[in-house]
Structure 1
Amino acid sequence: MSIYRNVVWFMKGFQEYTKSGYEAAAKHFTPADLDVNLSGRSFMITGANSGIGKSTALEIANRGGTVHMVCRNKGRAEAAKDEIVEHSKNQNVHVHIVDMSSARQVWEFAQNFSQNNSLHVLINNAGCMVNQRELTEEGVEKNFATNTLGTYILTTVLLPALKKAEDPRVVTVSSGGMLTQKLNVDDLQFEKGTFDGTMAYAQNKVKERQQVILTERWASQHEGIHFSSMHPGWADTPAVQLSMPDFHAKMKNKLRTEAMGADTTVWLAVSAAAAKHPSGLFFQDRKAVATHLPLAFSRSSPQEEERLQATLEQFANKFKP
């Protein structure tokens, strides 16, 4: 990444991604957008036991929606569920224990779920940022396995169930960090050069260039489902505290709350206003925004983007039950 791109991105982030950036944007929100009754609608949220995922789950439960929490740790998931049920008085909150870094687990869960449940909205929120290169038991680099491959498999397998629903949507939580990244199909698992966890996160997370590209491609391929990706801003979440301690220490007084970070996710998942936008766009604070910085040279060719999807399909089929 060039110094220019980093400086431009950080200046943009300091102005827009912080708590003050949210407060400035919120002055233009339409509060009635979230005044909805979600009874009878089913929502799946990955990584729902903490941070933005948990805040999203609570907001949906508060509005009467059925919530399916997809989490890795049973103890933390059950504790979060109990808290959500207590605050929302909504009993329709369910926990599913799935390790999103395990392609086989994701396959099996998604297939079983789609056979036995209805689904209106999928929210791809789970992610990780491992700062040392680490392989899963299946031999896949852990950031890529969790943030891209797991999300790809879950979304792809659940598409038929979503197509049966009224007003189906797929929302993917991404990150402004991907604005500095160009797709590199030739090194999806960061096998070349020095491993950089922060760069890997920007490249392939929910918060990432690969998922933004997948959102755009899915939108063009699956008419009838509304796809979107979004940046929550810089929020004070357990994941940020753990994976980016220096950044958190320097910025903690300026970081958004978890609810602020979740606001656009909830808006995209439940509001009629969000569905009026074309499918496939990238959002920040309830507005569609550009996916590339000026002069950042981060654009990829249609051929590279097609190759990304083909490569993920090959990966996914390798682990299909």
Structure 2
Amino acid sequence: MKILVADVGGTNSRLALATENGVETTTIRRFENQSFTSFYDVIAAFLDELDTPEITHCCAALAGPIAGTSGRLTNRDWIISLDGLKNQTGANTAVLINDLSALGYSLDHLSPKGTDHICGAFDHPLTNDQSLVVGIGTGFNVCPVKRTTHGTVCLAAEGGHIQMPQTVLAILAPIIGTEINQFPTVEHLFSGRGLEALHSLITAKFGMSGLDIVNAHLNDADPLAAKTLSLYSEALGALCQQHILQYMPQNGIYFAGSVARGVFSAGFHDVFKTALRRDALFDQHVEHVPISVILEDEAALIGCATAART
């Protein structure tokens, strides 16, 4: 079995080959999407670089919604279909999944150093084989994950477009007042653009990316960056509490994405944990849920390899 796996983002695509034993890391290649007219051209370039190996299975994860047998990238006008994948690769079978679903399929296959544990206990007695992947990058979304006797099931969701919970608004209001109207949905705040907007409201500084804000704090270059990141972490803890009650992910919440990694690297874990456990209904469920950040770069490719084999 030779599997072509692909992690297709709005800016870059990463492709690799995999077998029953997992991803062959020496075959991982990264391509800038702006250099290609379609994802199928990316596949052609990848196969040409690897001397066109014979592909039996293909799985692509894309940053966008899947509808039936095709999907569209949210931040690029590319449509990818199952038939297109088969035609381009010669594979007998093809699988198309959302990028967060790929992370869900990867959870049981990450290396020991592939995650950073934030809080909670992995050995508590309330496990129910349910987890939740929370992706925070250019956008925001969640993926509920259920382990069954027949394998892992990853469910589709649009968690970024729900209304902002009142518990989060109550944290923001004393700091930014009526400007909370700028954050009507979860994604308006909990995304790269949301972090930028929050920092602008607090500091009147514009044009700083989420990475800029994190680096400014870590380098002691902007004392107000700490205020932004602390407020963001507090609000994220309150949101995470709601997610625990909504999805009951007693086997863990796994944050993913560049913004999530950056915010947690800033060191406001205690602020996050305090908000997470503040006035929690069913506190025994909230307190013990293990929460981690996915660090492994190949996680989505690992998940694609798993999904292709199931």
TM-score, structure 1 length as denominator? 0.27
Question: More strand by proportion, 1 or 2?
Answer: 2
TM-score, structure 2 length as denominator? 0.28
Q: Computing the radius of gyration over CA atoms, which structure comes out larger, 1 or 2?
A: 2
